[in-house]
Structure 1
Amino acid sequence: MSNYNRSLEEAVSFMKKHDRFLVLSHVNPDGDATGSALAVAQMLRNLGKTFVVINEGETPARFSFLPGFEQIRNVSQSPLEESFSAVIAVDCADRSRMGNVEHLFAQDVQLLNIDHHPTNDEFGTCNVIRTDAAATAEILYDLAVAGHLPFQADLALCLYTGLLTDTGGFRYSNTTPHVMESAASLLKYGVNPGEVAERCLEVITLGHVNILRQALGSLKLSFQNQVASVCVSRQDLAEANADREDAGGLVNYCRNIEGVEVGISFVEAEPNVVKVSLRARSYVNVAEIAKQLGGGGHAKAAGCTLHGSLDEVRDRVLALLGEVMGVKDNE
């Protein structure tokens, strides 16, 4: 038996052993984080367990079609008074990505850590880490199969959403035969692929259009046009009647420019707090760059949150990127 299969069996045992769970994903959750958290909730419900699903912050409204979405509790606005001895964290690249939630952990806490990020530091008492998985949802699919857990429409929809979003609509290089086979299997339970793609990948808000217009005005090419970046200030968001969620995806416009190796977006989330998103095309490992800055992610998609003004953060990130690429900006 492989170490991966053994860890899957240990995870199933963990879920069957305990009765009440705290389920959480990373701060600023995406489709894989949200879909995976709600998939775990579905599995626990099928096992007759009780649970609370939380996140430190808002979960994007575009995932509101997922079954159980309304039960995700934003603990930054609605604190919990309960402590939990059994915790399941999904899609958290390291312990810090859980956010400020550890006050909810009991002294005897047991933590199941399920993730696919290469930067994961195995912070759980039980860890199921597969860094070549396209999404945490792919690992959860394997877990359900290994544990003979029942599939049904709600679980299938959550898992499919995780697979779809973390592969960019099955377009990224992490799209493997196993991903496609898993997705095809989930369609048998009534998932409507066109509807999920429409909700997760196609529909954009007017706020996004407005902030995109302003962001592109800040577009800067650096390092022999190999790096493209945009900056969005809090004032830009206010003028565009947009929020931080509306600014999601701006980095892709930078990375998709022909000849660009790395795209970066800098979004001022709060005064002197800047969310940095990085996307690479081929040879630059942006996860290593993000890790040096206190963040994490994947080789071609990573991010971090830094303190300072937009200009200070941009200069800091570009300087580090220049070192990694071995290119000077004035060359």
Structure 2
Amino acid sequence: MKPERPSYDWQLQEAKRFLEEQDDFLVVAHINPDGDAISSTLAVGWMLKQLGKRFVMVNEGKSPDKFDYLWGNSDIADFSVIERKPDFQHVISVDCADYSRIGQVSSIFGEAPSLLNIDHHPTNDYFGTVQLIRPDAAATVEILYELAVVLGIRWEEELASCIYTGLLTDTGGFRYSNTTPNVMRIASEMLGYGVKGSVLAEHLLERMTRSHVALLRKALAQLSFSHEGKIAWIAVSAQDIAEAGASNEDLEGIVNYPRNIEGVEVGILVKEGEGGRFKASLRSAGKVNVAEIAQRFGGGGHVRAAGCSFEGTIESVLDKIVKEVGKALV
């Protein structure tokens, strides 16, 4: 039986107390941060600034250049290149479904640090000393909007752009099933603070780099199907990524191509990383809970979008994933 969790309103007040009573914070999101992770990191940074707090923002992985328009994006340090690595006693993690998603940044935590865990993943295991978790939120920034209201933070375009960006990216441009009336209400309010919605949609959802297109061509050439066309997958090797001159940013969104094919219930992308490690991304049309499948392999996520990591070969990883998805289709 799962332990009974404190009410969300109680969690909001505890998070408020944590931010107001502590200082010298480290703010961190998950490895290879996406739009919601970056936006959440910067939204927390903005709030801490308004509260007169000292803070540092660090991530394992470079912050994508396409988010340079956001306040403070250039201030997020890449763990691999920072020189001084002090021990932080007060940590705020955002958009991390479990502690491992923090990655190597956890090595600069102090002994037994106080950690505020802010997240929206249903698979979050409630790590940390204080938790602010709302699994039905479309994005972590939706939770941070509510925290900003509780804190009485002054709304300006910089903060509003962070909130809007996280909502835009995690709802697929307000197209996914997590686009709720509350999401649209918050987005509308952010537009009222000066956010340029059409400009951000063009920049984040429509534009593609040439390296992304080069990688996409290689990926689609390997598109495969099984289970009467209900499962579709593509694989990207380290060699494919190198030959395309691509980066992690260029991999974003590629998993949607197999998923968007008519008749496909689950789309899969397997990409090769460093040291023989592979990351599998899963997208569901709704009949299959891919978060449950990812959890069986030590990963997690949402009902329709999840991921997990493996060691082995592309072929062995695909074999394991496709078999598990196939079982869920029966």
**Residue number among 142, 146, 169 corresponding to 1:142 in the alignment:** 146
1:55 equivalenced with 2:59 (yes/no) = yes
The answer for the alignment partner of 2:209 in structure 1 is: 205
**Residue number among 264, 270, 285 corresponding to 1:266 in the alignment:** 270
**Residue number among 14, 27, 30 corresponding to 1:23 in the alignment:** 27
Q: Per the alignment, in what secondary structure is the counterpart of residue 100 of structure 1? A: helix
1:214 equivalenced with 2:211 (yes/no) = no
Contact 1:160 1:186 survives alignment (8 Å): yes
Q: Per the alignment, in what secondary structure is the counterpart of residue 257 of structure 1? A: coil
Q: Map 1:76-225 to 2 at 5 A.
A: 76-225=80-229
Change (3 A) 1:104 1:142: same
The whole-number CA distance in structure 1 between the counterparts of 2:196 and 2:41 is 20
Residues 212-255 of structure 1: per-residue CA shift (max 9 Å, x gap) = 11111100011110001001111112222222321221110000
1:11 equivalenced with 2:1 (yes/no) = no
**Residue number among 61, 65, 86 corresponding to 2:69 in the alignment:** 65
The answer for the alignment partner of 2:318 in structure 1 is: 314
Change (3 A) 1:71 1:19: same
Q: Per the alignment, in what secondary structure is the counterpart of residue 272 of structure 2? A: strand
Displacement of 1:187 = 1.2
Contact 2:266 2:325 survives alignment (8 Å): no
Displacement of 1:271 = 4.3
The whole-number CA distance in structure 1 between the counterparts of 2:277 and 2:83 is 23
Displacement of 1:142 = 0.6
Q: Per the alignment, in what secondary structure is the counterpart of residue 165 of structure 1? A: helix
TM-score of the two chains, using structure 1 as the length reference: 0.95
The answer for the alignment partner of 1:329 in structure 2 is: none
Q: Per the alignment, in what secondary structure is the counterpart of residue 52 of structure 1? A: strand
Displacement of 1:20 = 1.0
Code of the residue aligned with 1:55 in structure 2: it is: N
Deviates more, 1:236-245 or 1:279-288: 236-245
The answer for the alignment partner of 1:253 in structure 2 is: 257
The answer for the alignment partner of 2:239 in structure 1 is: 235
Displacement of 1:312 = 1.3
Q: Per the alignment, in what secondary structure is the counterpart of residue 143 of structure 1? A: helix
Contact 1:9 1:147 survives alignment (8 Å): no
Consecutive unaligned residues of structure 2, counting only runs of 5 or more, are 1-5
The whole-number CA distance in structure 2 between the counterparts of 1:231 and 1:81 is 36
Displacement of 1:79 = 4.6
Change (3 A) 1:79 1:283: farther
Displacement of 1:180 = 0.6
The whole-number CA distance in structure 2 between the counterparts of 1:136 and 1:84 is 23
Runs (4+) off by over 6 Å: none
Q: Per the alignment, in what secondary structure is the counterpart of residue 58 of structure 1? A: coil
Contact 1:93 1:119 survives alignment (8 Å): yes
**Residue number among 46, 50, 68 corresponding to 2:50 in the alignment:** 46
Code of the residue aligned with 2:314 in structure 1: it is: L
Displacement of 1:200 = 1.4
1:36 equivalenced with 2:40 (yes/no) = yes
Deviates more, 1:80-89 or 1:15-24: 80-89
Q: Per the alignment, in what secondary structure is the counterpart of residue 268 of structure 2? A: strand
- How many matched pairs? 325
1:294 equivalenced with 2:321 (yes/no) = no
Q: Per the alignment, in what secondary structure is the counterpart of residue 283 of structure 2? A: strand
Displacement of 1:96 = 0.8
The whole-number CA distance in structure 2 between the counterparts of 1:113 and 1:289 is 24
Q: Per the alignment, in what secondary structure is the counterpart of residue 76 of structure 1? A: helix
Q: Per the alignment, in what secondary structure is the counterpart of residue 250 of structure 1? A: coil
The whole-number CA distance in structure 1 between the counterparts of 2:134 and 2:95 is 11
The whole-number CA distance in structure 1 between the counterparts of 2:115 and 2:275 is 34
Code of the residue aligned with 2:119 in structure 1: it is: D
Code of the residue aligned with 1:43 in structure 2: it is: M
Aligned-pair Cα RMSD in Å: 1.2
Code of the residue aligned with 1:229 in structure 2: it is: W
Displacement of 1:325 = 2.1
Consecutive unaligned residues of structure 1, counting only runs of 5 or more, are 327-331
- Percent identity, aligned pairs only? 52
